[in-house]
Amino acid sequence: MLNIILFGAPGSGKGTQSEKLVAHFGLKHLSTGDLLRGEIAAKTPLGLEAKALMDMGQLVPDEVVIGMISSALENNPQAKGFLFDGFPRTVAQAEALDKLLALKKSEIKAVLALHVTEEELVKRLLNRGLTSGRSDDNNESIIRARIVEYNNKTSVVAEYYKSFDKVKSIEGEGTVNEIFSSLCTAINSLELL
Ligand code: B4P
């Protein structure tokens, strides 16, 4: 299986690039943000709990997202690989993912880390907030809180995977197609290994 993590701060292009990558490589896209927004739209108890945290720019509890990913892995036994988008966001989530994949006799092949400056992140998310209807995108202080949460809890996930030599840094500023091309080059170099 080809399992890839697309890693980066909020607004770094994970969702944008994931759509193109799954179409190109035939992977199953697993976005915890999309799964959580699905729960919110369906007004489930989990969705209501998640919405309150997401609206403050905070992470949803680890056990909630790990449970969602565990179900998604079980529900897709035929997948030739997974593209994880926005997950894992904490070291506890990363350790849980490694265990879930080990049960499938599989592992993360690479972590592709998109690098974008904070001012560009804020600009992109405020811009998306004009049309997305997402309550976490239309207020600069919430966007900055999400970036603080990323710096405090998520950036260490890259260190975790660096210790296994799995991280590839990708320039995340440029056109969508330029960044897609860099990601494809990184993935193709893996498949040749
Ligand atoms: P997510 O849904 O994962 O969203 P995100 O990080 O905000 O955005 P993403 O990175 O995918 O967006 P993109 O750059 O593609 O998370 C939302 C919330 O859910 C989190 O804050 C958290 O509360 C919760 N959550 C999710 N997963 C969790 C987990 N594992 N644990 C705990 N909580 C979790 O797009 C941004 C904008 O940039 C778009 O408008 C796009 O068009 C634009 N853009 C993209 N590429 C561009 C480029 N090259 N140039 C210019 N603009 C570009």
β-bridge pairing 28-31 and 110-115: unpaired
Per-residue pLDDT of the chain (193 residues; tens, 9 = 90+): 999 999 999 999 999 999 999 999 999 999 999 999 999 999 999 999 999 999 999 999 999 999 999 999 999 999 999 999 999 999 999 999 999 999 999 999 999 999 999 999 999 999 999 999 898 998 999 999 999 999 999 999 999 999 999 999 999 999 999 999 999 999 999 965 5
Per-residue pLDDT reduced to its tens digit, 12-58: 999 999 999 999 999 999 999 999 999 999 999 999 999 999 999 99
Nearest Cα neighbor of 113 from 7, 186, 36 is 7
Nearest Cα neighbor of 19 from 134, 132, 166, 176 is 176
Report the atom number in ligand 1 closest to the C-alpha of 149: 21
Q: Which runs of consecutive H residues, i.e. helices, occur in the chain?
A: 14-25, 32-41, 45-54, 62-74, 91-103, 118-132, 140-149, 155-162, 176-191
Cβ of 59 closer than 6 Å to ligand 1, yes or no, is: yes
pTM of the full predicted structure?
Answer: 0.94
Best of 29, 60, 150, 180 for a ligand 1 pocket test (most atoms within 8 Å of beta carbon): 60
The residue contributing the CA closest to ligand 1 atom 44 is 13
The residue contributing the CA closest to ligand 1 atom 11 is 15
The residue contributing the CA closest to ligand 1 atom 16 is 33
65 burial type by CB count under 10 A (0-12 exposed, 13-18 middle, 19+ buried): buried
- From the centroid of its chain, how far is CA 30? 8
Dihedral (Cα; 183, 87, 140, 55), 10-degree rounding:
150
From residue 119, give the alpha-carbon distance in Å to each of 111, 125, 170, 173, 190. Answer: 24, 10, 18, 12, 32
45 burial type by CB count under 10 A (0-12 exposed, 13-18 middle, 19+ buried): exposed
Q: 92 CB contacts (<8 Å, ≥6 apart)?
A: 62, 66
Cβ of 86 closer than 6 Å to ligand 1, yes or no, is: yes
